[in-house]
Amino acid sequence: MIITAPRVIPALPGTGVLAPGYVQIEGGRITGAGQGPPPAAPDTELETGVLVPGLVDLQVNGYFGVEMQAAEPDGWAAVARRLPETGCTAFLPTFITAPLGQLTGALRSVASFSAGARPAAGRGARVLGVHLEGPFISPARRGAHNPDWIVPPEPGAVGELLAAGAGLVRLVTLAPEVDGGLAAVRQLAAAGVLASVGHSNATAAQVAAAAGAGARMVTHLFNAQPSIKSREPGVAGQALADPRLTSGLIVDTYHVSPANCALAFAAAPGRICLVTDAAACAGMPPGCYLLGGEPITLPPGDGVPPRRAGGGLAGSALRIDRAVANMVEVGAGLAAAVAAASRVPADLIGRPELGRLAPGAVADLVWLDDELRTAATWIDGERVYP
C-alpha cells in the first residue's frame, strides 16, 4: 500500500517536512517514505493536511468516561479502540497514588488480561505497559494526589509493585529527594523500568543525582514541582539543562503557560515529549468523574481541565493531536511538535519501532487535517479510524 500526502513528517532527526511525500507499507510495516512522486501508483491520495507517525502518549489516567486503574478489560478495550480518534496509536495507562494494596491489586488484575500489547478486542491503540504516578512522591508537591496514600519508596514496596505488574510496569514517577528515593531509582533502572522525577520538591542537585542513578525523565514539567529561582534551578531548571533528561509537557495552555511551553522547546530541543495527563472526563461532556478513585469535576469549555473540590487541577481533558496543534500555535515547528508526540516518547519508553515513518517501523500513521485534528488513523497498516 502506498499513501501520498501534500506533507509527510517522518519525525526523524534532520528530516523536517517532506512536501509532497509518500509512505509505502507492506505486511504492517513501513518499507519506504520519501519526498516527491511515489515509486508506484498510490492506493490512497490525501489531498490536504499532513501524514505523520502514530502519536504516543505516556500519561493517560483515563478517557471516554473510563478510569484506567479501576477499569475492567472491557473498559481498557473501549479506551484503546477510541484513542485513534485523537491520533493516539500507543499509550501508557497511568495509575496515580492509591493505597499500596489497591495498586498491587489493580496491577495483578491488568496483568491477567493484558500482555503489554493491544487488547484482545483489537483495532485499537497499543497498550505499552503501565505508568505508576506515585505513591512514592513528595507530600509537599502532591497536587491532586491523596496525601494519606503517599508512602516512602522502600525496596520491598517497589519490588511488590513490580512483581504485581508481572513486567507490565514501564514507567514510575517518584520524588528522588525522599528517604530511599535514589535507591528506588537504581532499583527501577536495574529492572528496566523508566524512572521519572515528578511530584517532587527536589533541588537541582538532587535531580542531577537521580539522573546519575538512572532516572531519564521528568513528569509534567513545571507542574507539581518548585519554580525556577535565580540560584536554585529546581526540578524544572535541571530538567531543561540536563541532557540525560526528557520532560513530559502538558500543552493544554492551562497547566503550563504558552510562553513556558515555548521556553521548554527552545531550551531542550528533542528532549520534550507531549503528554495529555488525560483523566476519565476527556472526550466526555462536563460533569463529575473520578481520578484515583476520588471525584473531579469537568467544567464547560473546550480543553478546560478538570478540578478537585478545592479548585486544584486534576489531570486534563486534552487530546494528543490538540497538544501538537497547541505547540505549533505557541511557536514550535510542525516537525518538532510532531516528533515530541511520536518519536521522542517512543524512544524514551524503549520502543524504537514506533513513532516514526521509516523502513522497518510499524505502520502506525495519522492523517491530520489542515487544523491538525485527526482525520484518519492506521495501525499496523490497517485503517482503524474512521
Q: Which residue has the higher pLDDT, 283 or 303?
A: 283
Amino acid sitting at position 382 = E
Cis peptide before 243 (omega within 30 of 0): no
Q: How many angstroms separate the CA atoms of 215 and 334, rounded?
A: 29
Sequence-ordered list of residues with C-beta below 8 angstroms from that of 14, at least 6 positions apart, any chain: none
Amino acid sitting at position 223 = N
Q: What is the pLDDT of residues 26-38, one digit of tens each?
A: 999 999 999 999 9
Beta-carbon-side half-sphere exposure of residue 7 (alpha carbons within 13 Å):
17
Q: What is the pLDDT of residues 306-328, one digit of tens each?
A: 999 888 999 999 999 999 999 99
- Binned at pLDDT 50, 70 and 90, residue 117 comes out as very low
Q: Is 321 a catalytic residue?
A: no
Q: Are 349 and 359 contained in the same domain? A: no
Q: Are 12 and 84 contained in the same domain? A: no
Beta bridge partners of 130: 169
Residue 48 has pLDDT above 60, yes or no: yes
Residue 302 has a pLDDT of: 87
- Binned at pLDDT 50, 70 and 90, residue 305 comes out as very high
Residue 311 has a pLDDT of: 87
Largest CA distance in the chain: 62
3-state secondary structure of 5: strand
362, 366, 367, 371: CA torsion to nearest 10? -150
Q: How many angstroms separate the CA atoms of 349 and 191, rounded?
A: 13
Domain count, the chain: 2
Q: Are 306 and 382 contained in the same domain? A: no
Integer-rounded Cα Rg, in Å, for the chain is: 20
Q: Are 237 and 192 contained in the same domain? A: yes
Q: How many helices (H) and strands (E) does the chain have?
A: 10, 21
Amino acid sitting at position 300 = P
Average pLDDT, the chain: 95
Q: Are 260 and 275 contained in the same domain? A: yes
Q: Active site residue: 242, 277, 347, 380, which one? A: 277
**Given CA atoms 328, 333, 335, 338 in this order, what sign does their dihedral have?**
negative
Rounded average pLDDT over 361-365: 98
Q: How many angstroms separate the CA atoms of 316 and 306, rounded?
A: 6
Q: What is the pLDDT of residues 68-116, one digit of tens each?
A: 999 889 999 999 999 999 999 999 999 999 999 999 999 999 988 765 4
Q: Are 301 and 381 contained in the same domain? A: no
Beta bridge partners of 255: none
Residue 343 has pLDDT above 80, yes or no: yes
Q: What is the pLDDT of residues 147-182, one digit of tens each?
A: 999 999 999 999 999 999 999 999 999 999 999 999
Q: What is the pLDDT of residues 174-204, one digit of tens each?
A: 999 999 999 999 999 999 999 999 999 999 9
Residue 293 has a pLDDT of: 85
Residue 120 has a pLDDT of: 43
Residue 229 has a pLDDT of: 96
Q: What is the pLDDT of residues 60-69, one digit of tens each?
A: 999 999 999 9
Residue 119 has pLDDT above 90, yes or no: no
Q: Are 36 and 66 contained in the same domain? A: no
Residue 118 has a pLDDT of: 47
Rounded average pLDDT over 233-248: 98
Q: Are 385 and 268 contained in the same domain? A: no
Rounded average pLDDT over 285-294: 92
What domain range includes position 264? 55-354
Cell 483515563 maps to which residue?
A: 62
Q: What is the pLDDT of residues 198-226, one digit of tens each?
A: 999 999 999 999 999 999 999 999 999 99
Q: Are 306 and 167 contained in the same domain? A: yes
User: Exposed (0-12), middle (13-18) or buried (19+): which is 105, by Cβ within 10 Å?
Assistant: middle
Cell 501538537 maps to which residue?
A: 324
Which residue, among 190, 198, 203, has the nearest Cα to 220 in the 3D structure? 198
Cell 524544572 maps to which residue?
A: 236
Residue 116 has a pLDDT of: 45
Q: Are 133 and 191 contained in the same domain? A: yes
Q: Are 101 and 202 contained in the same domain? A: yes
- CATH code of 13's domain: 2.30.40.10
Phi-psi region of 86 (alpha: psi -120 to 50; beta: other; left: phi over 0): alpha
Q: pLDDT > 70: what percent of the chain?
A: 98
Set of cell numbers at residue 9? 513528517
Q: How many angstroms separate the CA atoms of 202 and 135, rounded?
A: 16
Q: Are 141 and 158 contained in the same domain? A: yes
- CATH code of 61's domain: 3.20.20.140
